Amino acid sequence: MSAAVTSETRARRGDTQAEPREHAQTPVPASDQQSKDVAIRLEKVALGYDSDTIQQGLSFAIRRGDVFIIMGGSGCGKSTVMRALTGLLAPRQGRVLLQDQSLWEVSEAARTQILRGVGVMYQSGALWSSMTLEENITLPLEQYTRLSRQQIGELAEYKLALVGLAGFGGYYPGQISGGMRKRVGVARAMALDPDILFFDEPSAGLDPLSARRLDDLILELRDSLGTTMVVITHDLDSIFLIGDDAVFLDAETRTMLTTGNPKHLRDHSEIAEVRAFLRRGEA
Ligand X SMILES: Nc1ncnc2c1ncn2[C@@H]1O[C@H](COP(=O)(O)OP(=O)(O)OP(=O)(O)O)[C@@H](O)[C@H]1O
* Least separation in angstroms between CB 76 and ligand X: 4
Summarize as ranges the residues that interact with ligand X (CB under 6 A): 49, 54, 74-80
* Least separation in angstroms between CB 80 and ligand X: 3
Separation CA 169–CA 142 (nearest Å): 16
Separation CA 178–CA 172 (nearest Å): 12
Sheet holding 93-98, edge to edge: 52-63, 38-49, 93-98, 101-102
Q: Which residue's CB is nearer to ligand X, number 125 or number 169?
A: 125
* Least separation in angstroms between CB 174 and ligand X: 26
Q: Which residue's CB is nearer to ligand X, number 141 or number 239?
A: 239
* Least separation in angstroms between CB 248 and ligand X: 11
Q: Which residue's CB is nearer to ligand X, number 190 or number 230?
A: 230
What does each C-alpha distance from 231 to 71, 115, 200, 222, 280 come to in angstroms? 9, 17, 6, 12, 19
Q: Which residue's CB is nearer to ligand X, number 7 or number 79?
A: 79
In degrees and rounded to multiples of 5, residue 243 shows phi and psi of -75, 120
* Least separation in angstroms between CB 77 and ligand X: 4
Dihedral of the alpha carbons of 222, 226, 232, 237, in degrees to the nearest 10: 30
Q: Which residue's CB is nearer to ligand X, number 162 or number 249?
A: 249
Q: Which residue's CB is nearer to ligand X, number 59 or number 80?
A: 80
Separation CA 248–CA 210 (nearest Å): 26
- Is residue 45 within 8 Å of 91, Cβ to Cβ? yes
Q: Which residue's CB is nearer to ligand X, number 72 or number 194?
A: 72
Q: Which residue's CB is nearer to ligand X, number 75 or number 208?
A: 75
